[in-house]
């Protein structure tokens, strides 16, 4: 291009060329190629060409990064090779010097929002899972059950039903002293695979998930196995969460199994909760399938219990069911001899003499579990004046003493009150401690002895928990007369329940007055409020249902 033409160029274009010149690395300005170019115009032309070439190649590089982010790290050397700066004599070391790194508007526009410029090495980092999860907890959680950077593997579960689980030694070591000793102690494991045959895979994964993320993900089917794993690897916070879960899900059908496990894991609070349920709901607990799954030692402990609140014939039937199940577990036929063998001394913890004669004759005497001599001696013990010695305990169990919460301060009757015509008397209540409602205390006739038919019911949020249709006889006094449910019902704290009674009989009855909204009964505080189900006038201040009968 002639020199005269260059002078005719607009002043702004010359300044743009000078700007590009200033942005070039020093090595390019001093190259022999630039030095041999005559005049200023070829230099401007070369600068513009280099700028356009650089911009085009950066756009191509951007497109490649968007198409294949995983290969970005491998593309960096190629990008540096194609850099026009390097093609004109610039070394890699020169381009890596922080003082020679220049960011132009063109290069900033070529950088995608999902990448970031590293000033130290002039490389563009690809998007990463680390940058998209800002907290340590989130990043650790992603490593759970992840092969990425895993430096140990566990073979969890029994042979033939095991599962391979990847893990990271550091994470496990900071969460468990057992794992710390396993990986970094004096006798550290050096094998890359560690076998754990005594822990269920599902429970082990729950343990690891907690150690990686502090998340507790418990289920009824795996909570006991998880508690075992937490105890084995000394993770007390997870073990406590398991115990809390078990306490909230505790009921009569699983109380005996949980009693056995709580003794094994040495959890006294859970053990005490199990006893509360077993004592109050003994018949339901002993007749459950879970009772047949307990070990012999737990069976003996239950049979020694004085406070089992049930008849002894129920205890005897439960023991026979357990013996049948134990024979099956041991691969034995359920014969009389085998049942006696698996029961051992536990048979003689059943208090057979505390049964009625009729109960014994219809039950234990006919099941052949006793020898002829034992059966003969028991019959003599019932009938003879001189009673023979028996190997069975003679005294009946004490059971539980029911408590009564009386919500009225006085009672009264009038010639035109209280009348029953099949209408509902109802009240709501809540307690501050878990109890077991056994029944209600009701008023009877205010005139003379009378019989009433009654239907009692216990509900929570409209769901019927228990009901019973029965009769009771009143003697004409202002006393209350207990009417019980078939089985005591567990009532949780801080939740309102509704009890109701529908009576049919003598219309004139006593009724309560000066009712209290809060009543302290022993260690339990009751709160009362009116129920919308009540259609016969009963409320907090007066009416029927003067008492709640319960165990605590």
458 phi and psi, to 5 degrees?
A: -125, 130
Fold for the domain defined by 132-249: Potassium Channel Kv1.1; Chain A (3.30.710)
The pLDDT of residue 414 is 67
Using CA atoms, how far apart are residues 95 and 27, in angstroms rounded to an integer? 10
pLDDT tens, position by position, 511-542: 899 999 999 999 999 999 999 999 988 999 99
Q: Global pTM?
A: 0.71
Using CA atoms, how far apart are residues 533 and 146, in angstroms rounded to an integer? 56
Q: Is domain 265-383 in CATH 1.25.40, yes or no?
A: yes
Using CA atoms, how far apart are residues 42 and 6, in angstroms rounded to an integer? 10
CATH assignment, 403-551: 2.60.120.820
Question: In terms of DSSP H, where are the helices of 157-287?
Answer: 169-175, 177-184, 201-213, 223-232, 236-248, 252-264, 268-280, 282-286
Using CA atoms, how far apart are residues 317 and 62, in angstroms rounded to an integer? 80
Using CA atoms, how far apart are residues 178 and 193, in angstroms rounded to an integer? 16
Residues of the chain with CATH 2.60.120.820: 403-551
Give percent above pLDDT 90 in the chain. Answer: 63
Whether the CB-CB separation of 457 and 499 falls below 8 Å is answered with: yes
The pLDDT of residue 99 is 39
| Strand order from edge to edge, sheet including 424-431 | 463-474, 450-460, 497-504, 424-431, 524-530, 518-521
The pLDDT of residue 12 is 54
Using CA atoms, how far apart are residues 128 and 148, in angstroms rounded to an integer? 13
Residues of the chain with CATH 1.25.40: 265-383
Residue 327, C-beta contacts closer than 8 angstroms, at least 6 positions apart? 333, 334, 335, 338, 339, 342
Query: How high is the mean pLDDT in each 10-residue block of the chain (552 residues)?
Result: 46 53 48 42 43 54 56 40 41 39 38 40 55 84 91 92 93 94 86 92 96 92 94 95 93 94 92 96 96 96 96 97 97 95 96 95 92 95 92 94 95 71 91 96 86 94 95 89 95 96 83 94 95 93 95 94
Using CA atoms, how far apart are residues 178 and 96, in angstroms rounded to an integer? 47
The pLDDT of residue 93 is 38
């Amino acid at each position: 291009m002639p020199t005269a033409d260059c002078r005719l160029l607009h002043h702004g274009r010359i300044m743009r060329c000078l700007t590009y010149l200033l942005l070039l690395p020093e090595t390019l300005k001093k190259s022999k190629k630039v030095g041999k170019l005559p005049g200023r115009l070829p230099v401007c032309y070369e600068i513009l060409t280099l700028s356009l070439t650089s911009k085009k190649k950066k756009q191509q590089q951007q497109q490649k990064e968007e198409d294949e982010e995983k290969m970005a790290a491998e593309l960096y050397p190629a990008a540096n090779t194609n850099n026009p700066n390097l093609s004109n004599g610039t070394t890699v070391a020169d381009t890596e010097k922080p003082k020679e790194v220049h960011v132009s508007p063109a290069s900033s526009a070529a950088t995608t929002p999902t990448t970031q410029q590293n000033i130290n090495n002039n490389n563009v980092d690809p998007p990463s899972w680390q940058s998209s999860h800002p907290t340590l907890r989130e990043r650790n959680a992603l490593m759970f059950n992840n092969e990425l950077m895993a430096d140990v593997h566990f073979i969890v579960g029994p042979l033939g039903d095991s599962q391979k689980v990847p893990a990271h030694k550091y994470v496990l070591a900071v969460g468990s002293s057992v794992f710390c000793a396993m990986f970094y102690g004096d006798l550290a494991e050096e094998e890359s695979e560690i076998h754990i045959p005594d822990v269920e895979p599902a429970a082990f994964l729950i343990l690891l998930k907690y150690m990686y993320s502090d998340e507790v993900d418990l289920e009824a089917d795996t909570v006991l196995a998880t508690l075992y794993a937490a105890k084995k690897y000394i993770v007390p916070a997870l073990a406590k969460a398991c115990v809390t879960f078990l306490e909230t899900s505790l009921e009569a059908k699983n109380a005996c199994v949980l009693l056995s496990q709580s003794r094994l894991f040495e959890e006294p609070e859970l053990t005490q909760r199990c006893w509360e349920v077993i004592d109050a709901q003994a018949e339901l607990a002993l007749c459950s399938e879970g009772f047949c799954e307990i070990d012999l030692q737990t069976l003996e402990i239950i049979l020694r219990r004085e406070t089992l609140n049930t008849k002894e014939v129920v205890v005897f039937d439960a023991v026979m069911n357990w013996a049948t199940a134990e024979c099956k577990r041991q691969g034995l036929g359920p014969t009389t001899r085998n049942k006696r063998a698996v029961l051992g001394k536990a048979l003689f913890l059943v208090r057979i003499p505390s049964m009625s004669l009729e109960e014994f004759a219809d039950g234990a005497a006919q099941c052949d579990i006793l020898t002829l001599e034992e059966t003969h001696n028991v019959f003599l013990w019932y009938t003879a004046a001189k009673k023979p010695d028996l190997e069975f305990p003679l005294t009946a169990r004490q059971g539980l003493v029911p408590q009564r919460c009386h919500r009225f301060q006085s009672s009264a009757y009038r010639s035109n009150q209280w009348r029953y015509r099949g209408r509902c008397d109802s009240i709501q209540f809540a307690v501050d401690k878990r109890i077991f409602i056994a029944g209600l205390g009701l008023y009877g006739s205010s005139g003379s002895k009378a019989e009433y038919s009654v239907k009692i019911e216990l509900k929570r949020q409209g769901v019927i928990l228990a009901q019973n249709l029965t009769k009771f006889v009143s003697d004409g006094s202002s006393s209350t007369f207990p009417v019980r449910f078939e089985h005591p019902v567990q009532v949780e704290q801080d939740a309102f329940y509704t009890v109701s009674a529908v009576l049919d009989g003598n219309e004139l009855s006593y009724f309560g007055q000066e009712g209290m909204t809060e009543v302290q009964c022993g260690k339990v505080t009751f709160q009362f409020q009116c129920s919308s189900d009540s259609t016969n006038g009963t409320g907090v201040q007066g009416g029927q249902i003067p008492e709640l009968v319960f165990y605590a």
